[in-house]
């Protein structure tokens, strides 16, 4: 039975890969002049970096959401619901506020990215490790505190913005609104390398996810250093969220949508398949959504708006619907 289910899920993943290829090709080649070589090259110069950013963002958010849900042992909680996007926004705003928009810490895309990642990784790991330990992973307390943290981070960020120089605010605003029309192309290579290094560094913890979801006592009895593994995974989640947010801005609810779609489609405990499915769903949503934004709405509405609205409705469905939610 297990082998049959595994083969069935592999076919489902292969179908998702095919849909990703279709969505990517549709985004790249829709409304492109193949007859004019110069126009074709110009279009590819603009669209290929955007597509790469979408794929990297989907992989980072999709993987981080599945890992985060497994760490906290609940399928309706994602990093954005606990304020990680707001934390990154606060950190990035604070760096601009303290150093100034003309500082090399802000002007240089790679250095700015590295500073934000370090601060985000340290702050998120300390805050959320302490939060989970003190609440004993109680989902109701975690959600309540996460809501408070989101408002807290947002209030501090809003205060910094109000006292900031208007010119510096203008330069900051572009990086705080999620849009694939305004991606930070300078850090794409850095982001891909960092994501690859993260996967390699956390390969042991990722392989232990199936065991970690059994609970602390069971994992410890099986010889797993539970606390260390959780800290390292939380650091990885924080860095993945920071990578995605630094490239395109905060995208609320994307992780909730794609992680739960992956769980509903695959119906498995194997995290290797769940992470792959979540990342592939994210690629389909972002590539297909951005194509609709550009070709139908002519850039009038960013794709993050549709994701936020759809994700909010889906979140309410998960909370209030008839499907069983593990609290």
187 domain-assigned: yes
Q: What is the pLDDT of residue 275?
A: 94
Cα separation values, 56 from 16, 26, 185, 278, 279, Å: 16, 18, 12, 13, 9
- Across 24-41, b (16+ Cβ under 10 Å) vs e yields beebbeeeeeeeeeeeee
Residue 325 lies in a domain: no
What CA–CA distance (Å, rounded) separates 139 from 76?
10
Report CA dihedral (285, 288, 292, 294) to the nearest 10 degrees.
110
Residue 217 binned pLDDT confidence (cut-offs 50, 70, 90): confident
CA distance 27 to 239: 28
Those residues whose C-beta lies under 8 Å from the C-beta of residue 151, and which sit 6 or more positions away, are: none
First to last CA, the chain: 29
User: How many residues in the chain?
Assistant: 327
- Examine residue 327 and state whether it is found in any structural domain, yes or no: no
Binned at pLDDT 50, 70 and 90, residue 138 comes out as: low
Residue 303: inside a domain: yes
Residue with more model confidence, 327 or 21? 21
For residue 309, the domain's CATH number is 1.10.3470.10
Which pLDDT score, from 0 to 100, does residue 326 have? 46
Query: Across the chain, what does the average pLDDT equal?
Result: 83
Could you tell me if residue 205 is inside a domain?
Answer: yes
Give the residue numbers spanning the domain of 59.
2-320
* CB contact burial 156-187 (16+ within 10 A = b; e otherwise): ebeebbeebeeebbeebeebbebbbeebbeeb
Stretch 320-326: mean pLDDT? 55
Output the pTM of the full model: 0.85
- For 89-135, write each residue's pLDDT tens digit: 888 888 888 888 778 777 777 788 888 888 888 888 888 778 777 77
- Please report whether residue 10 resides in a domain: yes
Predicted local distance difference test score (pLDDT) of residue 121: 81
Establish if 219 belongs to a structural domain: yes
Q: What is residue 182's predicted lDDT score, i.e. its pLDDT?
A: 61
Tokens of 300: 């009038």
Mean local confidence (pLDDT), 216-234: 84
Give me the number of domains the chain comprises.
1
**pLDDT of amino acid 63:** 93
Structure confidence at residue 137 (pLDDT): 64
Q: Compare 224 and 260 and report the one with higher pLDDT.
A: 260
Tens digits of residue pLDDT in 156-199: 988 988 888 877 777 777 666 656 666 666 678 888 888 999 99
Residue 72 maps to a domain: yes
- pLDDT tens digits, 280-300: 999 999 999 888 888 888 777
pLDDT reported for residue 20: 96
């Amino acid at each position: 039975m297990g082998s049959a289910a595994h083969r069935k899920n592999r076919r489902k993943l292969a179908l998702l890969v095919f849909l990703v290829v279709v969505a990517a090709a549709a985004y790249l080649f829709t409304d492109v002049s193949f007859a004019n070589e110069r126009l074709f090259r110009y279009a590819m110069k603009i669209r290929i970096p955007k597509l790469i950013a979408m794929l990297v963002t989907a992989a980072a958010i999709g993987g981080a959401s599945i890992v985060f849900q497994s760490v906290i042992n609940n399928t309706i909680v994602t990093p954005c619901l606990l304020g990680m996007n707001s934390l990154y926004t606060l950190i990035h705003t604070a760096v601009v506020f303290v150093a100034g928009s003309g500082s090399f810490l802000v002007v240089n895309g790679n250095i700015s990215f590295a500073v934000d990642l370090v601060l985000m990784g340290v702050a998120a790991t300390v805050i959320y490790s302490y939060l989970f330990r003190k609440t004993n992973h109680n989902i109701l307390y975690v959600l309540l505190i996460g809501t408070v943290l989101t408002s807290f981070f947002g209030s501090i960020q809003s205060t910094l913005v109000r006292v900031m120089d208007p010119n510096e605010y203008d330069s900051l605003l572009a990086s705080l609104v999620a849009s694939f029309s305004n991606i930070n192309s300078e850090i794409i290579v850095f982001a891909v390398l960092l994501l690859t290094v993260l996967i390699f560094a956390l390969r042991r913890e990722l392989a232990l996810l199936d065991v970690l979801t059994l609970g602390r006592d069971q994992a410890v009895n099986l010889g797993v250093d539970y606390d260390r593994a959780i800290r390292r995974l939380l650091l990885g989640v924080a860095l993945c969220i920071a990578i995605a947010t630094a490239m395109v801005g905060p995208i609320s609810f994307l992780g909730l949508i794609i992680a739960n779609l992956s769980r509903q489609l695959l119906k498995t405990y194997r995290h290797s398949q769940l992470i792959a499915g979540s990342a592939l769903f994210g690629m389909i949503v972002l590539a297909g959504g951005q194509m609709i934004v550009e070709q139908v709405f002519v850039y009038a509405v960013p794709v993050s708006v549709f994701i936020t609205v759809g994700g909010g409705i889906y979140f309410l469905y998960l909370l209030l619907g008839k499907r069983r939610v593990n609290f």
